[in-house]
Amino acid sequence: VKGRMATTMMPQRRQAKDEEIVLDGVFNGAGNEDEVEEALRGMCVEAAPEDEENTNDYVDISDDIGIEDKHSQKLSAERSGFRKMAGKSFRGLWNSAKKLAGRSKDRMKDSDIERLLEKVMKCRHKLAHPNGGLINTDYEGIKVSRSVVAEVVKQMGKKLLTGQNLLSVTFPVRCCQPRTILECAAYQFCFCPHYLSRAAMETDPVERLKYVTACFIACIHTTSQFVKPFNPTLGETLQASFDGGVRLYLEQTSHHPPVTSWQVVGPNNSFQYVGWSTYEASFGYNKLYVKQSGIRMCKFPDGTSIEVGFTMDRYNNVYWGDVIQEVLGSYTFLDARNAISCTIELNPCKGLPSDTFVGSINRLDAQGEIVDSICNVEGSFLGFLDFNGHRYWDISSNTRRDPVFDPLEKSLPSDSRFREDRNALVNGEVERAQLEKVRIEERQRRERRLRAAAAKGGPWNPADVK
């Protein structure tokens, strides 16, 4: 995997700077639901804004989980190099996208809203909420996860809403699903074989951009998970194949903060999708916000690279009520070589489900400013995507290809599926899974201290590092 991974995309590995909070033991949380809800309601009411609609309604608890300076510099350098390669400055694109987003309500007439609403409601995921977002129906998993919140509140108290880094909490194994983040992430590439292969066949840059956009819009509804997977250890890997000769390589290139790197390779190297991502978490009033950052690039043999942006996930009713995932913000796809972009705004205005989006493909000048619109785009990430009325993705279409993991006997020793805690949980051995999880985490903390000691230089004895 390390040999195949695009080295220019690999982030720097870092040491943890914030204190970890370990929730020890196998916690079952039985009989604590009322107590948990009462405590959390009190905490959330104190943190809730007066007007949620017009306020930044969440408390950021991610101050300590941003990527370290070297990592940020690498991200900035890669993006700068990507845009400089095309001889353009694309700051104007992002400013233009913000201006377009701010004008959405003025741009959409009542008749347009009614027309789009009718289209959205006719083609819709079976678990779509009427007001928008995807309903999570893993009720048993949600119940178990919420029970652990009692232990979180007990140990963290109001720090939970006033600055404590959520990713520094080590949760008990009972609230985990028997898969790692790498295993879950593999399914989020399930539309790449179809749409990126179609994109690779296109010679028209606009048509190629349409298929790349369709790929990532189609993938959004596959990301809805509430039960926590195991965090991979540093260097953990996973390899898989898709129909049509597409290969996937995953590696955990940082444990804290969690950074996953990947490479998707089309048949005969017809395309590559490479990148890495990390995430930040923050709480609001009965909500959880998850924001990703990193780099995502779709590369093609003719030299075209399309940079894919990131959105923000919001999980409503985290503590009580039906859990609903929404995806918010603007989604931008940038083809610097051909000076075109696709900008999509999710949840564009009132009167439409929040999973609705509108946008356009635009031509850019040398400063990255939009000079004219090529075509319009509209749809819902829980239903369809249309460019100028022509459908490129539909929830009912048979374009999904699930990964087939490499046989264990042919996999690297670092493969996620060899983890002792994961396998114990697969077999229903919860207590042994907890013991194995603690053992793995303690080993990883020691290795982190060893790296820190080595980085300081000078003579030292590994046996002295506990």
What token pair was written down for 432?
Answer: 């042994």
Which H or E run includes 390?
Answer: strand 390-394
Who contacts 200 (Cβ-Cβ below 8 Å, separation ≥6)? 208, 266, 270, 271, 300, 301
Per-residue pLDDT of the chain in tens (466 residues, 90 and over written 9): 444 444 334 444 333 344 444 444 333 334 444 554 555 555 444 444 434 443 333 233 233 233 333 444 444 454 444 444 444 444 555 555 555 544 454 567 888 999 999 999 999 999 999 999 999 988 888 887 777 765 666 666 555 555 454 555 667 787 788 999 999 999 999 999 999 999 999 999 999 999 999 999 999 998 877 788 888 899 999 999 999 999 999 999 987 788 999 999 999 999 999 999 998 877 767 888 888 899 999 999 999 999 999 999 999 988 888 999 999 999 999 999 999 999 999 999 989 999 999 999 999 998 888 999 999 999 999 999 999 999 999 999 889 999 999 999 999 999 999 999 999 999 999 999 999 998 998 888 888 888 888 888 766 666 666 6
Phi, psi (rounded to 5 degrees) for 145: -65, -40
Query: Which amino acid makes up residue 236?
Result: E
Q: Helix and strand tally (H, E) in the chain?
A: 11, 21
Who contacts 377 (Cβ-Cβ below 8 Å, separation ≥6)? 213, 342, 344, 357, 358, 359, 360, 361, 385, 386, 387
Query: Which amino acid makes up residue 465?
Result: V
pTM: 0.79
